[in-house]
A and B are shown apart, each in its own frame.
Chain A
Amino acid sequence: MLRRINSILVFSVSILFLLGCSTAKIPMSYRFNPRDLKKEITGCWIEVNMHSKANVNPEMELSGELVAIQSDTVYVLTEVQLNGIQLNKINEAILYIYNSQGGKYAAVTGLLYLSDIIAAAATGISTFLDIGLPWLVGGSIITFSEGNNSNLLIYPKKNTIEDFRKFARFPQGILPGVMKDKLHLILTN
């Protein structure tokens, strides 16, 4: 039974780790809960990769808030400044619409199943592990269903750059009256 408990624990921790590290680089205030998107006042977080396959340069990777997309330029606001990136220089862009809920589902699944593991270990009755099995299977399926990048827009693999526009702070574009150097990330909500 101990071996079985160990396997389940390793499996659960691995899922939590994998789901947790995918959005680790994004500031907390930009990890939107899907239900709160309607109340967010900023654009979504974007990672832009401007590498050419032949010449890998880490400095060409940029991540920040998507401020606007105007004609052939993507405006990304970092902690330092507003950057305008020519569309033809973008190798790949990933936009995080909302924070994947997979981690939460995995955590809830694991925590509830933990009660069965503790009960099995404390009483020596392995049937406790079986009682929680439908929950473990159901919770894992739901967790994995959230982990298929449905919360992301990926250019050019899955989406066009036009799809990104409505997730910008200014979907209508940056108006002339906006002082670009005054724009800043909203790091606390």
Chain B
Amino acid sequence: MVTGLKLKHLIVFIFIGIMIIACSPTRVIRELHYPYPYPAPYSTKIFNKNVKVHMKDGCLYMLDSLIKNSSPETVRGYGSYYNQYREIIKSNVDSSGIRIAPVFQIPLSDVALFETNDVIRATGKILAMALIGVPTAIITAYCIINPKACFGSCPTFYAWDGVDTSLMAEGFSSSILRSFEKKDIDMLYWSKVTGDDFRLRLTNEALETHVIKYADLLVFPRANNERVFATEDGKFFKTSDIRSPSTCIAPEGDCREAIKQMDHRERYSAADSTNLIQREYIEMNFDSLPGGKLGLIVGCRQTFLTTYLFYQSLAYLGNSAGYFAARIESGDNNLKKRVNRVWEVLGGIEVFVQNSNGGWTKVSQIEEMGPIATDVHLIELPKTGTTTLKVKLRLTKGLWRIDYLALAKLEQSVEPIKIKPSLVIRENSIENNLESQLTDTLKPLITLPGDVYNLRYVFPDISKNYEVFLCSKGYYIEWMRETWLAEENLKRASLMFGFPKLFMRMAAVDFKKIEPTMEDNFWRSRYVKKN
């Protein structure tokens, strides 16, 4: 967060600086100089630059440059000579500035005035416009060509973090059809509850149709030093004594700085250049363990690799995408399994613990999809009977961005208070009673690109501090883009869904071409909505 804030401030500072420079109006400074005494103190201002020489008879020399003569009686120059009526008499340079005739020798005694013109601040404005305009144009063009990389996917939720309204969660990213519909629990890690009124901003920022059956809050009263985390199987634990690993070693070396706090500083790696499912390991040591049951806290999100593959699959299916989607929706389980298989070969974050024999035991796996919002997961760890703990994560290179790794002492298991939205308001609309659509699963809330909803929840007891989770359920339907149809290739689609491991090797080259810019372009183009 520190880096993010500094960068944000730097950008604002540069923007203000440019604006201050650019805000001063353009000025033209015209100066007239008498020819005598010669050479005069002003001489540096008139030599070697564009000068107009006004003659005593009203004629005019317009010179590209005025050249000092060794003789004080004359000055020389190249340009054009006009009479009093501004008809051109002679020119010793052509239109491209090439000298075509002897230099003008101008007697100083015939000169009335030298005129110089300087334009100031015009360049600053052009520079300012270029500095703001070029990135804007690039981002706009990139987002038009590749909207997914800019606008993400899935219902996106924003909440108050104590300073600002910020991105907190994305709902059911893997629910790409009705048959993949599922419940999703996301921790609103940074949310701050003030009073009994809690607001969520729900947006559809992609070319998708979102079908949302519910978006409930699961809240837990807690003490100030306590935090509540959720396990993959939907259990909630109050935790205490949260501590960072004493060492954290990834293939690139020590990554402890990146993972010791939930601060948007993330540990991530690039995908393998020959195989998109190449795995890597991160090993952690925890010293002087607290007594009791322990859990590993993992704050993470995916990279845009899954987004790329999802889009690519739709592009390969092209005009047949609707047909295959309909088959899955009609109960073709074989096809559904093939889709799932693609995500399975990518894999989740597998968690291993070293047992007393030195062997590694797999404990659990984090599989939550979605590249936009970091979610926090709790993995219950078995008792090892040792005073130190070694934990290993196995994950696909270039697929995960890990923000936070820590060990916590698990206190008691707790049950949430479920709160349904009491008021749902659609922005720029007069629709009412929308909350019924998030409470009756038979009448879901359907959102289209650009839709923004404000969800209000009433908390039971304002005197308490709460941990807040979002529990949403639904699915979304991605819209086919015109540009994707050009990539239709059913053979490739067959390879992807029939032999996903082989496909991941073949797709590596193409993905590596856009991998470096996907994340940056997404965040640079994004405009986090405010309440």
Chain A positions within 8 Å of B122 at CB level: 34-35, 101
Q: Which of A97, A126, A139 contacts B129 (CB 8 A)?
A: A139
Cα A166 to Cα B32 in complex, Å, equals 7
Contact A42 B428 (CB under 8 A): no
Cα A184 to Cα B85 in complex, Å, equals 7
Q: Which of B82, B115, B119, B525 contacts A35 (CB 8 A)?
A: B119
Contact A134 B26 (CB under 8 A): no
User: Do A139 and B23 form a contact, CB below 8 Å, given A131-B143, A175-B57, A182-B85?
Assistant: no
Cα A132 to Cα B527 in complex, Å, equals 10
Residue of A with least CB distance to B19:
A141
User: Do A125 and B19 form a contact, CB below 8 Å, given A35-B119, A41-B60, A131-B139?
Assistant: no
Chain A positions within 8 Å of B132 at CB level: 134-135, 138-139
Chain B positions within 8 Å of A174 at CB level: 58
Which of B48-56, B349-357, B396-404 lies at the interface with chain A? Answer: B48-56
Chain B positions within 8 Å of A119 at CB level: 140, 143-144
Chain B positions within 8 Å of A157 at CB level: none
Interface assignment of B458: CB less than 8 Å from any CB of chain A? no
Chain B: minimal CB distance from A70 (Å):
13
Contact A41 B147 (CB under 8 A): no
User: Digit string of A94-129 for contact with B (CB within 8 Å is 1, else 0)?
Assistant: 000110010001001100100110010001111110
B interface: dominant SS: mixed
Contact B62 A39 (CB under 8 A): yes
Total cross-chain contacts (CB, 8 A): 160
Cα A37 to Cα B62 in complex, Å, equals 11
User: Do A177 and B129 form a contact, CB below 8 Å, given A38-B52, A125-B450?
Assistant: no
User: Do A178 and B147 form a contact, CB below 8 Å, given A37-B119, A124-B448, A130-B527?
Assistant: no
Chain A positions within 8 Å of B527 at CB level: 127, 130-131, 133
Contact A124 B449 (CB under 8 A): yes
Q: A41-B60, A138-B133, A178-B57 are in contact. List 4 more A-B contacts (CB 8 A).
A: A1-B450, A37-B119, A127-B526, A141-B23
User: Digit string of B142-169 for contact with A (CB within 8 Å is 1, else 0)?
Assistant: 0110010011000000000000000000
Interface assignment of A155: CB less than 8 Å from any CB of chain B? no
Contact A37 B56 (CB under 8 A): no
Cα A38 to Cα B525 in complex, Å, equals 42
Chain A: minimal CB distance from B345 (Å):
32
Contact A166 B115 (CB under 8 A): yes
Cα A5 to Cα B157 in complex, Å, equals 25
Chain B positions within 8 Å of A123 at CB level: 144, 147, 207, 449
Residue of B with least CB distance to A2:
B428
Smallest CB-CB A-B distances: 4 pairs: A150-B25, A130-B527, A172-B112, A135-B136
Q: Which of B115, B140, B206 contacts A115 (CB 8 A)?
A: B140
Chain A: minimal CB distance from B97 (Å):
12
Contact B84 A177 (CB under 8 A): yes
Interface assignment of B192: CB less than 8 Å from any CB of chain A? no
Chain A: minimal CB distance from B428 (Å):
7
Chain A residues close to B by CB (< 8 Å) = 1, 3, 34-35, 37-39, 41-42, 97-98, 101, 105, 108-109, 112, 115-116, 119, 123-128, 130-135, 138-139, 141-142, 145-146, 148, 150-151, 166-167, 169-172, 174-175, 177-179, 182-184, 186
Chain A positions within 8 Å of B62 at CB level: 39, 41
Interface assignment of B488: CB less than 8 Å from any CB of chain A? no
Contact A3 B428 (CB under 8 A): yes
Cα A112 to Cα B135 in complex, Å, equals 11
Cα A135 to Cα B136 in complex, Å, equals 7
Between A and B, 17 residue pairs with Cβ closer than 8 Å are A1-B450, A34-B26, A39-B62, A41-B62, A97-B30, A123-B207, A124-B450, A128-B140, A131-B140, A142-B125, A146-B125, A172-B54, A174-B58, A177-B58, A177-B84, A184-B85, A186-B86
Chain B residues close to A by CB (< 8 Å) = 15, 18-19, 22-28, 30-32, 50, 52, 54, 56-58, 60, 62, 82, 84-86, 112-113, 115-117, 119, 122, 125, 128-129, 132-133, 136-137, 139-141, 143-144, 147, 150-151, 205-207, 428, 448-450, 525-527
Chain B positions within 8 Å of A169 at CB level: 86
Contact B136 A170 (CB under 8 A): no
The residue in A123, A127, A132, A133 that gathers the most chain B C-beta atoms within 10 A of its C-beta is A127
Contact A170 B58 (CB under 8 A): yes
Chain B positions within 8 Å of A108 at CB level: 129, 133
Contact B136 A1 (CB under 8 A): no
Cα A186 to Cα B125 in complex, Å, equals 30
Contact B22 A142 (CB under 8 A): yes
Contact B86 A41 (CB under 8 A): yes
Chain B positions within 8 Å of A97 at CB level: 28, 30
Q: Which of A38, A127, A131 contacts B136 (CB 8 A)?
A: A131
Chain B positions within 8 Å of A98 at CB level: 26, 28
Chain B: minimal CB distance from A43 (Å):
10
Chain B positions within 8 Å of A34 at CB level: 26, 28, 119, 122
Contact B86 A42 (CB under 8 A): yes
Cα A35 to Cα B126 in complex, Å, equals 13
Contact A105 B125 (CB under 8 A): yes
Contact B56 A125 (CB under 8 A): no
Chain B positions within 8 Å of A171 at CB level: 32, 54, 113, 115
User: Do A39 and B50 form a contact, CB below 8 Å, given A125-B449, A172-B56?
Assistant: yes
Cα A173 to Cα B526 in complex, Å, equals 61
Q: Which of B50, B129, B137, B141 contacts A138 (CB 8 A)?
A: B129
Residue of B with least CB distance to A108:
B129
Cα A127 to Cα B205 in complex, Å, equals 7
Cα A8 to Cα B125 in complex, Å, equals 22
Contact A142 B56 (CB under 8 A): no
Contact A175 B147 (CB under 8 A): no
Cα A42 to Cα B28 in complex, Å, equals 16
